[in-house]
């Protein structure tokens, strides 16, 4: 009797943890193409994932266009949706995973199944079946916002009266350092990856709604890459100082 009771308590604890953690997130990012797909939004799965998540109460985005400022500034304010396929004979099997920015699985659905022969119908039914796992989660966003740096818990000391009225100084313009070597852009589902001559991946560029403007990940710090005066520039903050570096990119 103890083993079944322990299993029930474990499943209950996992369910409560998943629900509480999901409540910390308002946004979910969905790739334009899942790992098993051969084209963007194949069988309409990415769009369907967005619609089903929005039915649950999340704000979901396919790709990186029109993201809210708090997500552009910090991707850790959003979950990442993945749909995983398990190969089966005469059965389509799909599982939904919601991961945080560190790749930790916050929620994993049951394995949705369909025995339909027509691919579009089979994948859609299997995904809808997987999403029924979210029916057991009472999701409600609690207003949590994750910042890039941990804020101190102690209240700051009051500034002297002579300083309190002074306007804050504008941040100093960053000194632009020259490019150190040629980087080659390789297309990905959401943008490009920049490879040096080693070859080694140096940066990941994610598309935005603006031309020649990318979100940069995988470098010394999260930042942006954009074209300025016909040159590519990487900008990010380090120790509260703006760092700006020229990049020599070949697309």
Q: Which domain holds residue 186?
A: 174-250
Last residue of a domain, one of 109, 136, 163: 136
Asked if residue 175 has pLDDT above 80, the reply is no
What pLDDT, on the 0 to 100 scale, is given for residue 148? 52
**For the chain, what is the radius of gyration of the CA atoms?**
22
124 and 212 in a common domain: no
Asked if residue 168 has pLDDT above 70, the reply is no
Q: Is residue 163 assigned to a domain?
A: no
Q: Is residue 246 assigned to a domain?
A: yes
By C-alpha distance, which of 130, 107, 97 is closest to 21? 107
What pLDDT, on the 0 to 100 scale, is given for residue 26? 94
> Domain count of the chain?
2
Rounded distance, CA 97 to CA 101, Å? 13
131 and 18 in a common domain: yes
Q: Which of 28-32, 110-114, 213-217 has the lowest mean pLDDT?
A: 213-217
Tokens at 48, concatenated: 């369907």
Asked if residue 97 has pLDDT above 90, the reply is yes
Last residue of a domain, one of 85, 106, 136: 136
Asked if residue 156 has pLDDT above 80, the reply is no
Between 155 and 103, residue with greater pLDDT = 103
What pLDDT, on the 0 to 100 scale, is given for residue 151? 36
Mean pLDDT of 20-25: 84
In this prediction, residue 25 has a pLDDT band, given cuts at 50, 70 and 90, of very high
Between 65 and 16, residue with greater pLDDT = 65
124 and 185 in a common domain: no
Residue 73 Ramachandran class (φ > 0 left, ψ -120 to 50 alpha, else beta): alpha
Rounded distance, CA 177 to CA 85, Å? 45
Q: What average pLDDT does the chain have?
A: 80
Please give the C-alpha separations between residue 159 and each of 166, 168, 203, in angstroms, as whole numbers. 10, 12, 41
Asked if residue 10 has pLDDT above 70, the reply is no
Q: Is residue 198 assigned to a domain?
A: yes
In this prediction, residue 44 has a pLDDT band, given cuts at 50, 70 and 90, of very high
130 and 14 in a common domain: yes
Q: Is residue 50 assigned to a domain?
A: yes
191 and 74 in a common domain: no
23 and 110 in a common domain: yes
Give the sign of the dihedral formed by CA 159, CA 162, CA 165, CA 171. negative
Between 8 and 112, residue with greater pLDDT = 112
Q: Is residue 222 assigned to a domain?
A: yes
Q: Is residue 156 assigned to a domain?
A: no
128 and 23 in a common domain: yes
Q: Is residue 1 assigned to a domain?
A: no
In this prediction, residue 100 has a pLDDT band, given cuts at 50, 70 and 90, of very high
57 and 128 in a common domain: yes
């Amino acid at each position: 009797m103890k083993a079944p009771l322990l299993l029930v308590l474990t499943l209950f604890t996992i369910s409560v943890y998943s629900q509480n953690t999901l409540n910390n997130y308002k946004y979910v990012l969905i790739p334009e193409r899942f790992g098993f797909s051969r084209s963007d939004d194949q069988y309409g799965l990415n769009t369907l994932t967005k619609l089903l998540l929005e039915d649950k109460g999340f704000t979901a985005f396919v790709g990186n266009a029109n993201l809210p400022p708090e997500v552009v500034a910090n991707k850790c304010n959003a979950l990442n949706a993945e749909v995983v396929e398990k190969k089966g004979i005469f059965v389509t099997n799909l599982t939904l995973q919601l991961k945080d920015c560190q790749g930790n699985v916050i929620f994993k659905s049951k394995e949705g199944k369909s025995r339909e022969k027509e691919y579009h119908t089979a994948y859609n039914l299997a995904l809808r079946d997987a999403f029924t796992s979210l029916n057991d989660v009472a999701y409600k966003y609690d207003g949590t916002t994750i910042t890039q740096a941990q804020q101190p818990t102690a209240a700051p000391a009051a500034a002297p009266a002579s300083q309190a009225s002074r306007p804050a100084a504008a941040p100093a313009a960053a000194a632009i350092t020259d490019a150190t070597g040629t980087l080659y852009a390789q297309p990905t589902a959401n943008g490009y990856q920049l490879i040096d001559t080693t070859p080694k991946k140096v940066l990941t560029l994610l598309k935005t709604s603006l031309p020649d403007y990318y979100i940069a990940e995988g470098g010394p710090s999260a930042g942006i890459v954009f074209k300025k005066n016909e040159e590519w520039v990487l900008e990010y903050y380090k120790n509260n100082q703006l760092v700006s570096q020229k990049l020599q990119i070949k697309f």
